[in-house]
Amino acid sequence: MLLSTAHAKTHDHVMPKIPKDGTTMTDLIRSIATDQKHEAGQPFYILDLSTIVRLMDKWNHSFPNVKPFYAVKCNNEPALLTKLANLGANFDCASLLEIDTVLNLGISPNQIIFANPCKAISHIKHAAAVGVNFTTFDSKLEPLVTAAPCAPRQKFGALPEEIEPLLHYACNVAGLKVVGVSFHVGSIAQDPIIYREAIANARAVFDVADYLGIPKMQILNIGGGFRSTPLFEEIASVVNEAVQDFFPDPNLKIIAEPGRFFPETAFTLVTHVIGKRVRGEKIEYWIDEGIYGSFRPTLYNSCFAESAILGPSCDSLDAVAVDIKLPELELDDWIVFYNMGAYSKCAGTKFNGFDMLSTPTYIVSTNST
C-alpha cells in the first residue's frame, strides 16, 4: 500500500521498418493513405516504436534509479504497452479495465500499481483477485487509497494535518501495510522546484511514520507530469538532487508514473479533409477527426490563408482549430498532426455516430531497433 501526498477497441496494422534509403515519414503516410488495404478516407495513426526506445533510453539516463510505471490512461495502444513492457517499464492503472488491458498482454500483476485515489469496492476486489496488490490511498473513507500534501486542485491527496491520523488509521485500525509515499505535481509540470517541494513534503510524511512507530517505509513515488522537452533534464536534475538531500538511504525504492512522456511524440495522426467552405477571406475545412476523437479544443498555428478545421459531428463545439492560417486545401487532401500520442485516441467516443474508437494504428520503426 502506498500513501500518496498531493479500453478502447483498436485495429493495429504492423508496417515494415522505414528503410534507410531516403524514405521519410511523409512518404510512409502517403503510401498508407493510397494503399488499397487501407479504407479510403479513414483517418489513421502511425506509432514509431523507435521513438519509444529512444525515450526509454533518455529516461534511464536521466533517472537511473527511478522505475517508470507508465500511466495507461494516457494511451492504451496495445503495441505501445507491449513495447514499454519489453523495455522494462511497469504500469500505473486507474481502473478495472486498464488492469485487464495490461494483464491480457501477458504482463505480470506484480508490474502494476492500482493508483486511482478513489476506487470502487468491486474494482478493489477484482484487483486483489488477479494479484494486483500494490495500490494507493489518501483518505480513510475508502479501504485502499493515495496521500499527497500538494495534490492538483485538491481533488486528490491528503492535507498535512491529515497525515498523522491517516497513517494511524491505516496501520492500527485498517491493518494495512503502508510501504511508501506518493505525490503528483500535476500534468505538464513547468516548474522544477515544485518537485523539490513535493519531495520535502514526502520526507515529512516519512518522519511522521517513524514517529508513530510504523515499520520503515521503502518507496517514494514521484508521480508524473513529465514531457520529453529540454525542461525534462532540468526537472530530473532537481529531482535527483532533492532525493539525495531528503532521502539519502540507498535502499529506498523510487518509482514514477509518467504518461505523456512516452507516447506524445511517438504518434502521428493523419486525417482526411471531408468538407470545405469559403467565407470571405476565410476557408473552413471539415476533417474526419475532432474533439470527440483525438483532439482538445485548441491546436497549433500554421501559415497562409485564414482557416478553421472542424470535426465531423453536428456539435458546433466540434472545432479542432479556429483562426489559423493554412495553405488552401481541397477535398480528399490529408492533414497530418504530429505529437498526437498523449490523451488523444484513448479519449475518443462514438458521439453522433462517428466511431472515433476504431481509428487504426500502423506500427513502424524508423531504424533497426
From first to last of its 369 residues, what are the pLDDT tens digits of the chain?
A: 454 443 333 445 555 455 555 678 888 888 888 886 777 778 999 999 999 999 999 999 999 999 999 999 999 999 999 999 999 999 999 999 999 999 999 999 999 999 877 777 888 889 999 999 888 765 543 433 333 333 344 434 677 788 888 888 888 877 778 889 989 887 777 789 999 999 999 999 999 999 999 999 999 999 998 999 889 999 999 999 999 999 999 999 999 999 999 999 999 999 999 999 999 988 999 999 887 788 754 433 333 578 888 888 878 788 888 888 777 787 888 888 888 888 776 766 665 566 666 778 888 877 644
Count of beta carbons in the 10 Å neighbourhood of residue 231? 15
314 counts as catalytic: yes
Using CA atoms, how far apart are residues 32 and 272, in angstroms rounded to an integer?
13
Which residues face 253 on adjacent strands? 219
* Pairing label, strands 334-337, 267-279: antiparallel
Per-residue CA distances from 151 to 93, 128, 198, 227 (Å): 18, 26, 10, 19
Q: Give the pLDDT of residue 267.
A: 94
Q: Give the pLDDT of residue 82.
A: 97
pTM, to two decimals: 0.75
- Sorted by sequence, the CB contacts under 8 Å of residue 125 that are 6+ apart come out as none
Is residue 316 classed exposed, middle or buried when 0-12, 13-18 and 19+ CB atoms within 10 A define those classes?
exposed
The C-alpha cell of 6 is what?
A: 498531493
The answer to whether 228 touches 264, Cβ cutoff 8 Å, is yes
Q: Give the pLDDT of residue 149.
A: 36
Q: Give the pLDDT of residue 81.
A: 97
Which of the residues 74, 118, 171, 314 is marked catalytic? 314
* Pairing label, strands 180-182, 136-137: unpaired
Using CA atoms, how far apart are residues 191 and 228, in angstroms rounded to an integer?
15
